[in-house]
Amino acid sequence: MTIGKSPRRSAPDSSAPVPAEESSRAATGGPSIGRQLAKARIDAGLTVDQVSTRTRIRVPIVHAIESDEFERCGGAFYARGHLRLLAREVGLDGEALVARYDAEHGGPAARPTGPLLDTGPIKVRDHNRPNWTAAMVVAILAVVVLIGYNLVGSSSSGDQPGAASAPLPSGVSAPATGSPSAQPPAPESSVAAIAAAPADKVTVKLVAGADKSWVTAKDGNGKSLYSNNLEAGQDQTFTDPKKITLVIGNAGAVHLFVNGKDLGPAGQDGQVVHLTYTPGDPQAG
């Protein structure tokens, strides 16, 4: 027994995890991003519901951001957009918050390596390219006219021998002698092009309504096809042999057309949806 010595205290465990908020405060010397937004909102006299209505960000997402739980945003791209919208409503500098977010979470995300679809104005179609869909319609009509002509001609020749045959429509060749039917004329190459949805592929068209949305699209191999804002009135079309995977923010502002079928709005206003489509009758995954 040793007199005059107090028990030795154990050193604090340096390997224990530090909460994200305490780590952020230690790094910046101030409150976390979420705490700043919450305090500014309260100082502005706004409720979470009011901020959600003005920014179209769902109430659970607003609560998560004010608690520094950015994984609920669905990715760094959406987190930055939410921070800018919330900062604008409560009177903070959105770019400063985004810069701090990037510093605390590893910097801005790398741009997609795959080709992005053009988000500029809708281009006028090249009318010098062949229109195979219209050509097929013309060919089918020609076949119908030929069949009708043969039926009428054979009936007239049986009832009235020697009667003159009716003239064929313009652009339709007369059937060969002794042949029950004739092949339709070859499609002309000068017909204008019209977009058609191939039956062996998945084709997804997104049309933004009166408000903008955030859209990311990937093909069947996971390659990024699009990652950008879809402004009001704009549209984008994606095609792949296997599947198209979508993440749509503010889903109520986007109208869906899949494999030629109108599916209506992608979701509710302010909702973030994850959708997958494959060839055939469109069923969201």
Cα 103 to its chain centre, rounded Å, is: 29
How many Cα atoms occupy the beta-carbon half-sphere of 222 within 13 Å?
0
| pLDDT interval class at 62 (50, 70, 90) | very high
pLDDT digits (tens, 9 = 90+) for 217-259: 999 899 999 999 989 889 999 899 989 998 998 888 888 898 8
Q: State which CATH number among 3.40.30.10, 1.10.730.10, 1.10.260.40, 3.90.1140.10 fits the domain covering 20-104.
A: 1.10.260.40
Q: What is the DSSP string of the chain?
A: --TT-PPPPPPP-TTSPPPHHHHHHHHHSS--HHHHHHHHHHHTT--HHHHHHHHT--HHHHHHHHTT-GGGGTSHHHHHHHHHHHHHHHT--HHHHHHHHHHHTTSSPPPPSSPPPP-SSPPPP-TTS--HHHHHHHHHHHHHHHHHHHHHHHHHHHHSTTPPPPPPPTT-PPPPTT-S--PPPPPPTTSPP-----TTSEEEEEEE-SS-EEEEEE-TTS-EEEEEEE-TT-EEEEEESS-EEEEEESGGGEEEEETTEEEEESSSTT--EEEEE-SSS----
Q: What's the pTM?
A: 0.33
* Arithmetic mean of pLDDT over the chain: 75
pLDDT digits (tens, 9 = 90+) for 9-51: 444 444 444 444 444 454 555 799 999 999 999 999 999 999 9
Model pLDDT, residue 199: 77
Output 99 or 192, whichever has higher pLDDT: 99
Report which of 224, 283, 219, 215 is spatially closest to residue 253, judged by C-alpha positions.
Answer: 215
Model pLDDT, residue 30: 78
CA pair distance 248, 274, nearest whole angstrom: 7
Model pLDDT, residue 180: 47
pLDDT digits (tens, 9 = 90+) for 250-274: 888 888 898 888 989 988 888 998 9
CA pair distance 210, 45, nearest whole angstrom: 29
> Domain map of the chain by residue range?
20-104, 202-277
Report which of 113, 123, 125 is spatially closest to residue 219, judged by C-alpha positions.
Answer: 113
pLDDT at 190 over 70: no
Model pLDDT, residue 83: 94
CA distances 176 to 143, 157, 183, Å, are 14, 16, 10
Model pLDDT, residue 91: 94
CA pair distance 186, 176, nearest whole angstrom: 16
